[in-house]
Structure 1
Amino acid sequence: MLPAALVVQGLVLVSVSWQVAADGPLLGLDRRIRQSVHSLRHGLSSSPVDRLGELLSDLGGSLPAGSVLLGAGALAAWRARRAGVRRWWLPMPVAALTAGLIPLLVVPAKAGFARPGPLGLPLTPEQWGWYPSGHTVTASIAYGVAALLLGRTLGTRARRLLYGVAALLPVGVGLGLLWCDYHWFLDVVAGWCIAGLLVPGVSRLLPGAPERATTDRED
């Protein structure tokens, strides 16, 4: 039986996708949240906060997120080799395949839904659309899988810290995208749900953690 969290995320993704495709009433939530963010941003009128929003949204780009994913795969393989793990090299192809999978998930969905962005401008021929948020999907999957690969080689305390950071980064990316008016709220929610369904699957495909990472010793 699927964990309840996966079922909930799947239902949310299906419901939101249906509303986006049908231009349903749930899209009113997007407009209300966008208006609230605009009011807050205008009230603060803070350049440092605006720059922080830009920085957070940029963390969802394929270059920074992909580099972290591939780097974590290489580092995890190196640490596993030092620990004497038989298939020490496995994190590297997992990281590479994950990096290649992300655009295969995002691009067809964007092209299929062809949703205009928050500015309301019509899509140009070279644009795919805004739903789901590619930056959110990229950040959530790349940082999540990177943490899974590297966390298997760490002690309990370091692993928990790494997982916490990996969970917070996609939240920050999503908030940055909303603050900068780059995406609708439901675009971001869909990105979180897609990653929430995929990352646990990647975790199940990985073999057991190296012995040094499964002990109760704290790093």
Structure 2
Amino acid sequence: MNSLTTRLRGLRRSDRRFGMRLMGSALVAAAAAVPFGLVLVLVKGQWSPLRRLDAEAADDLHRTALAHPGWTETLRFLSDRVWDPTTLRITVALLVIWLLWRRAWRLAAWSAVTAIAGGLIGLLVKTVVERARPSLEDPVAVAPGFSFPSGHTMTATTSFAILLLVLLPLVPRRLRPVFWAVAVVSVVGVGFTRVALGVHWFSDVLGGWLLGAAVVAATAWAFEAWRTDTGRGHAPVTEGLEPELTTPSPESPSHDLDHRPA
């Protein structure tokens, strides 16, 4: 009985440390993102080479969009339907519900916090930077709000990272490269559509990728720290955050019944 009580107390302490690390990491993710910080400084400082790259990319892709209406409609469909932030957020929400049903409480918490933190941090940076969107003659698409970083791109980065890191243990090894490829193509594709439709500068998209990756890296570090505290060890990224997801949860009723003392 004493050993069981001690073990439960240790688990509660590790859970508290996990929660503190998870929230703390999410709050400092943007500040800790050195590559994103560099891009932010260059954007705010209106660095000439970056401004020239943004303008050239916007002009070239805008001419292509005007010359090929069918191509533009395809990009608009992908951006506004398939890779729309609302669609991706609903997908992550359904994943969280499924994890709760599986009683994977901490993995559900990580997924929810990562998605919410990404959205709030992106909105905060947009408000602080207040960068105007491209202003093009005869635009093929419009979007409200400020431009940096790209919300579509950041949401895609965090959402597909969550899906990858949670679901990889359930994907057969031979299919994991396909799973990775779909995620990478989707994240890159979202960024391309936003620039090609003329609603973001290239540096907006780059900022969205970097900031989204920083949020995921920070919260994933917190999750790995919790695993270490509980003696589960480090999980390689190729195995997902929690390889044990393929087995019944230790907290599930069926598991308790199978392992209760006679």
AA partner of residue 66 (structure 1): R
What's the TM-score once normalised by structure 2's chain length?
Answer: 0.64
Assess if the C-alpha contact under 8 Å between 1:68 and 1:143 holds in 2. no
Assess if the C-alpha contact under 8 Å between 2:39 and 2:203 holds in 1. yes
AA partner of residue 113 (structure 2): L
In structure 2, the partner of 1:118 is 134
% identity of equivalent residues: 24
Q: Measure how far apart 1:157 and its partner are.
A: 2.6
Report the secondary structure of 1:183's partner residue: coil
In structure 2, the partner of 1:217 is none
In structure 1, the partner of 2:65 is 41
CA 1:29–1:133: 2 relative to 1, 3 Å: same
Structure exhibiting the larger radius of gyration computed from Cα positions: 2
Greater alpha carbon shift after TM alignment, 17-26 vs 133-142: 17-26
Q: Measure how far apart 1:76 and its partner are.
A: 4.9
Equivalent of 2:197 in 163, 170, 180: 180
Structure 2's unaligned 5+ residue stretches are 1-31, 137-143, 228-241, 248-262
The two structures, once aligned, show a CA RMSD in angstroms of: 2.6
Q: Deviations over 1:19-40 (max 9, x none)?
A: 2112221211100111111222
1:99 is aligned to 2:121: no
Matched residues, number: 191
What's the TM-score once normalised by structure 1's chain length?
Answer: 0.76
Q: Deviations over 1:135-173 (max 9, x none)?
A: 110111012112211113333233332222122211111
Greater alpha carbon shift after TM alignment, 24-33 vs 201-210: 201-210
The structure where helix makes up a greater share of residues is 2
Q: What pairs with 1:29-178 in structure 2 (closer than 5 Å)?
A: 29-43=53-67, 45-47=68-70, 49-58=71-80, 59-76=82-99, 81=102, 88-119=104-135, 128-178=145-195
Q: Deviations over 1:29-70 (max 9, x none)?
A: 100111111222234x232x1122112222443310101112
Assess if the C-alpha contact under 8 Å between 1:10 and 1:193 holds in 2. yes
Assess if the C-alpha contact under 8 Å between 2:125 and 2:149 holds in 1. yes
Moved over 4 A (4+): none
For the residues of structure 2 that align with 1:185 and 1:211, how far apart are their CA atoms? 38
